[in-house]
Structure 1
Amino acid sequence: MMPELFAALSPQDWQAIRLTLKLCLYTTAILLLLATPLAWWLALRQSKLRTAIQAIVALPLVLPPTVLGFYLLLLLGPHGAIGSTLERLGLSHLAFSFSGILIGSVIYSLPFAVQPLLESFRRMGPGPLEVAATLGAGKLDQLFSVVLPLCRGGFIVAATLTFAHTLGEFGVILMLGGSIPGETQVLSVLIYDHTEAMNYAQAHQLSLGLLISAFVVLFIVYGLNRRFEREAVL
């Protein structure tokens, strides 16, 4: 089935696939860098701002993606605070560009990176780091010798969920980026375009590919969770 599916794809479809994978990889890498210190702070620090920050992080889970995309369009477009500032500096605004949809993707997928790391850091607690510190381990050494080994499950799940969530993003990208081939036309948007044009065969091929990919990703996530749970018991 899969070889026949790939053989039937058009150059436009392959272009959207490459762009989607690029967006997924960039979003995942950026969010792992941003979500790690944020999740660490939420897990191990007490602050009056903690509840408010947790609510902001989780906001994309309940906010309609078109609403988020609309406000990002206003902010990053030529008349927005960021977009107009960039234009005054001689640069282009970020609406309807890959950079723009990347920003939208990072914001929209933020909770899918933060939550697994937050739970992993909470389970670890401050104890192992305190022991490492008494043995003379510096901050960087603690990160690589304690945090990463003990919380590797959280990092793997965070990366996998972020990648999978970005793979299926639609509302934010369509509002902020439109459907520009090679620039903002990712798979979800291309499926919408095919359906609008009544090209149901092409829409079915791409939708089936995304369906299979989503199942594989979730299968991996649940498999990893079971493995890490068994290791924790042992």
Structure 2
Amino acid sequence: MDYSPLLLSCKLAGISTFFLLLIGAPLAYALVFIPMRGKLFIESLIGLPLVLPPTVFGFYLLLLMGEQGSIGRLYKILFDTSLLFTFAGIAIAAILHTVPYVIQPLKASFSRIDRRLLESAEVLGCSKMSCFFRVVLPNSLPGLAAAAILSFAHIMGQFGVILMIGGSIPDETRVASIAIFEYVEAMRYQEAGQLSLALLVVSYLILLTVNILEKKNNEP
């Protein structure tokens, strides 16, 4: 049995989750603690992947990341290669499609922080950035862990967006969900079953971990 698609899915999920936390944590902090105009519009834009069909989201990404799109042209200028049908392409697609799955748990975790801690830190001379690193993040570790795990799980199961942006190139873009689809299409049910079982076990362990973290986070 070839488990390389599963390993590629884990690689994609790990790398994408790392960048999602780098992007999502400051963004969630800004949405929770910094007053701004149009916050509802920003939050609605971030949440679009939750309601848009993956094929619709993937179609617009295809336009943006193609050589005629703004992201695709910039990537071509920087790296002199196309972004579509590459690992970098599906990683960017996975990140953009998973942003709300990181923002929502982070916002919930940040909102539970006692604002008096931030006020005390500001009185002592901490800047907004210093408060973020010294107060918010240390008091939100369960939320950060939950966001990372949910992000990893979501990317492990992505199909439509990845297929539209990356196709099915072995060891490059052929992740586990696409491999299972192809096995079923070719009536190779044994391989599909083995890979599906592996994903089932991984998904269950991820969900179990999230529930354990939520229980600990809700304990007084």
* Bucket of the pairwise TM-score, normalised by the shorter protein: over 0.9
Which of 59, 70, 75 is the aligned partner of 1:70?
Answer: 59
Match of 1:220 in 2: 209
Q: Does 1:39 align with 2:25?
A: no
Gaps of 5+ in 2: none
The partner residue of 2:135 within 146, 160, 164 is 146
Matches of 2:96 and 2:133 in 1, distance apart?
A: 27
Q: Structure 1's 70 and 140: CA in aligned 2 closer, same or farther, altered over 3 A?
A: closer
Q: Once the two structures are aligned, what percentage of the paired residues are identical?
A: 43
Partner of 1:102: 91
- RMSD of equivalent CA atoms: 1.8
Equivalent residues in 2 for 1:157-168, closer than 5 Å: 157-168=146-157
Specify which of 194, 210, 215 is matched with residue 199 of structure 2.
Answer: 210
Return closer, same or farther for 1:38/1:88 CA change in 2, 3 Å cut-off.
Answer: closer
Q: Could you tell me which residue of structure 2 aligns to residue 115 of structure 1?
A: 104
Q: Report which of the two structures shows the higher radius of gyration computed on alpha carbons.
A: 1
CA contact (8 A) 2:93 2:162 kept: yes
Q: What is the aligned counterpart of 1:193 among 176, 182, 190?
A: 182
**TM-score w.r.t. length of structure 2:** 0.93
Question: Is contact 1:95–1:177 with CA below 8 Å preserved after alignment?
Answer: yes
In the alignment, structure 1 segments of 5+ residues that lack a partner are 1-8
Contact persistence 2:29–2:132 (CA under 8 A): no
- Structure 1 partner of 2:119: 130
CA contact (8 A) 1:43 1:118 kept: yes
Work out whether residues 31 and 110 of structure 1, in 8 Å CA contact, stay in contact via their aligned partners in 2: yes
Aligned residues: 220
- Tell me the secondary structure at the aligned position of residue 168 of structure 2: coil
Aligned amino acid, residue 68 of structure 2: H
Pair 150,81 (structure 1): closer, same or farther in 2 beyond 3 Å = closer
Give the Å deviation of 1:130. Answer: 1.6
Q: CA deviation at 1:83?
A: 2.3
Q: Distance in 2 between matches of 1:103 and 1:226?
A: 32
- 1:153-200 deviation digits (Å, cap 9, x = unpaired): 110110010011111000100011100001100111111111111111
2:171 to 157, 182, 206: 182
For residues 86 and 229 of structure 1, the distance between their equivalents in structure 2, rounded to whole angstroms, comes to: 43
Letter of the 1:115 counterpart: Q
Letter paired with 1:43: V
Aligned mate of 1:82, from 71, 78, 84: 71
CA shift for structure 1 position 131: 1.1
